[in-house]
Structure 1
Amino acid sequence: MHFTSEQYLDGGGLEREFILGEIPGTLWTPPESGDGALPLVLMAHNNGLPKGEPRLVARARYTASCGYAVATIDAAGCGGRPRSAADEQARGELRRAMQAGAPVDEIEGIFESFIAPLVENAAPEWRTTLDALLALPGIGGPVGYSGWTALGIRLLVTEPRIAAAGLFAGGYVPLAQRAEARQVSVPLLFLLQWDDEGNPRQRALDLFDDFGSREKTLHANLGGHVGTPWFEVEDGSRFYDRHLRAGQ
């Protein structure tokens, strides 16, 4: 892992850009970490949008200010990294289908054709990044996850180091991850926007029911896809406090 830049934030937190092989990422750390190892939160934007997306950066900086190391990456096919010709074709087909008011089944089929490969390609790079982050001085876990639900499910069933997860219900979840949800056992905080224009409410409720976790909490708020209230970010930090700081 090679750090390429650093910026001190208001309040003293540190934001550093890094490169790990071909993976670009950002690491935020709090103003003072003391002598103990920091717990870590992996933060991924829904459907692979850029790591520099303002809503993600705001959440990351706040979470770091609460005493966590926070990291995000642009995994394969995400953010500014190259996408395959098949992905670009599927995105074009999706735009045309939505503009034409195509049936839900047709639109979901197009989503499946490019989001499922995104998850398959992104998950190994997130695990590689986790290895490198936990090898850094001052970061020792436990590890939490926040953000993109489809990727989160895949990581939760393949990465035992993740102890708790906050998931955003918005965004299509491929069939493979819907089946994997039954294997998820860590504590969950599941955020749902009740009027999300791109995420049928019942599908999100059914997914919440499918999760195998014995401790899972659903927070539903009125509003569209990008209307999640800021207080949910604050509640999310309290959720991580309960599950990543036990005994500290």
Structure 2
Amino acid sequence: MHFTSEQRLDDGVLEREFTLGEIPGILWTSGSAPAPLILSGHNGGLHKREPRLVARARHAAAQYGYAVAAIDHPGHGDRPRSAVDERARADLRRAMAAGEPVDEIFESFVVPLVEKAAPEWRATLDALLTLPEIGGPVGYAGMTAVGIRLAVLEPRIAAAGFFAGGYVPRAQREEARQVTVPLLFLLQWDDAGNPRQRALDLFDAFGSKEKTLHANLGGHAGTPWFEADDGNRFFARHLK
């Protein structure tokens, strides 16, 4: 892991960009060491510097003392997109504009994304846990499809917060039964791109003995800010 930039922000948070092989990422810390770590996984199409992700990360570091890390998934953010990626996105835009079914298109690029992103997150976790300012335990917050795979494969993840707004492939819906860590699941009740019943069925499938569903009125990007505090308190119960 190589740190490529460093700046102290006005809220006292230290923000450092890093690379790990081909993986670009950002680490936010507040100076309280060794700190529990939250892996912040963005949904499809977004960037590690997406404003809502950055705001949540800085808030978690400044107000709660967590270390928070985000990386760009393959084909996202600063990473190049393949011709296959571009074609799938074009097909998705066309199908959505025409009101056609999109599940098979999502399957065609979310399934490979999960297969690539989960090992990259595990390699990033290996590197982050060697830093003296990070002591664990570890939580994951973000994209549900990748988070399910990580929660199943990675024993160092002690708790997870999933956002129900992203497409979850059929394989991960089956894997959900193997997720046993404490879980917080956020659902936007009026998310036109995420069938409500599918999200509720997924919540029911999770194997966790402790799982909580927070449902709020509003569309895909309308998650209330207070959910950031609720999420941080959820992690405090399991990471501190």
How far did residue 88 of structure 1 move? 1.3
| Counterparts of 1:200 and 1:47, CA distance in 2 | 17
Structure 2: 5+ residue stretches without partners: none
- 2:24 and 2:78 in contact (8 A); partners too: no
Cα distance, 1:222 vs. partner?
0.2
Other-structure match for 1:89: 87
Give me the CA root mean square deviation: 0.9
Q: Tell me which amino acid in the other structure corresponds to 1:7.
A: Q
The runs of 5 or more residues in structure 1 that have no matched partner are none
Inter-partner Cα distance in structure 1 for 2:11 and 2:105: 45
**Using the alignment, how far apart are the partners of 1:96 and 1:13 within structure 2?**
42
Q: Which moved more, 1:82-91 or 1:145-154?
A: 82-91
Within a 5 Å distance, the mapping from 1:1-248 to structure 2 comes to 1-30=1-30, 32-33=31-32, 36-65=33-62, 66-102=64-100, 106-245=101-240
TM-score normalised to structure 1 length = 0.94
CA distance in 1, matches of 2:17, 2:179: 31
SS in 2 for 1:46: coil
1:239 is paired with a residue whose SS is helix
| Displacement after TM superposition at 1:80 (Å) | 2.3
The aligned amino acid for 1:108 is D
AA of the residue aligned to 1:11? D
How far 1:7 sits from its partner (Å)? 1.1
Task: Give the C-alpha shift of residue 49 in structure 1.
Answer: 1.4
3-state SS, counterpart of residue 102 of structure 2: helix
In the aligned structure 1, how far is the partner of 2:60 from the partner of 2:140?
Answer: 12
Whole-angstrom CA distance in 2 between matches of 1:76 and 1:171: 16
C-alpha separation in 2, matches of 1:139 and 1:72: 15
Contact map agreement 2:129 2:135 (CA 8 A) in 1: yes
Identity of aligned residues (%): 75
Q: CA separation in 2, counterparts of 1:192 and 1:12?
A: 31
Shift of 1:11: 2.8
Q: Provide the rounded CA distance (Å) in 1 between the counterparts of 2:51 and 2:11.
A: 19
4+ residue runs over 6 A deviation: none
C-alpha distance in 2 between matches for 1:80 and 1:176: 28
Verify the 8 A CA contact 1:16 1:27 in the aligned structure 2: yes
The alignment's TM-score, normalised by the length of structure 2, stands at 0.97
The question of whether the paired residues in 1 share the 8 Å contact of 2:128 and 2:134 is answered with yes
CA contact (8 A) 2:17 2:27 kept: yes
Matched letter for residue 28 of structure 2: W
Alignment-mate amino acid for residue 138 of structure 2: V
CA distance in 1, matches of 2:37, 2:121: 13
1:47 aligns to what SS in structure 2? coil
Distance 1:201 1:51 in 2: 27
Q: Give the deviation of 1:48 after TM superposition.
A: 4.8
Q: Does the 8 Å contact 1:48/1:75 carry over to 2?
A: no
